[in-house]
Amino acid sequence: MGLISSILGHASEVDAEKLEQEFEGLLIPDENIECAFHLFRDLTVFTNLRLILVDKQGLTGKKREYVCIPYKSVDYFSIETAGRLDMDSEIKIWVKSRPDPIEMEFKRGGNILEVFRALSQHCL
């Protein structure tokens, strides 16, 4: 993915095999990364057991927050596509025992439908 695309908020698919080494310490036995999407500096990873949201923080991005959501904990999710005046799209994920949804924002032209399709395949 090019720098301009990432700055513009275009999600792009990441090679799951390349992430296996980075996530080796986080994954449990028999858990595999099935697909992942890069959005600016953040990462959304779908394994066969859970959704992992990676928030890279700080100037260098070395500090990271990993939010792990078992698919069985997802109550529901929604997609809001960009309109004429609203240039952003977003996916919202409501998780059990959490009043507010987790929000993922995308700019117009991003691969929001691919991310939504992956979420649907794992949660439904």
Reply yes or no on whether the pLDDT at 6 is more than 70: no
- Distance of alpha carbon 83 from alpha carbon 101, whole angstroms: 21
Q: What are the pLDDT digits (tens) for 12-68? A: 678 877 888 889 899 999 999 988 888 777 888 999 999 999 988 877 767 889 999
Helices (H), the chain: 3-7, 16-22, 112-123
Q: Judge whether 11 and 39 are in contact, CB under 8 Å.
A: yes
Using pLDDT thresholds of 50, 70 and 90, give the confidence band for residue 1.
very low
pTM above 0.85, yes or no: no
Q: Judge whether 46 and 74 are in contact, CB under 8 Å.
A: no
Reply yes or no on whether the pLDDT at 94 is more than 80: yes
Q: In this structure, are strands 88-95 and 33-39 parallel, antiparallel, or unpaired?
A: unpaired
Using pLDDT thresholds of 50, 70 and 90, give the confidence band for residue 83.
confident
- Distance of alpha carbon 20 from alpha carbon 17, whole angstroms: 5
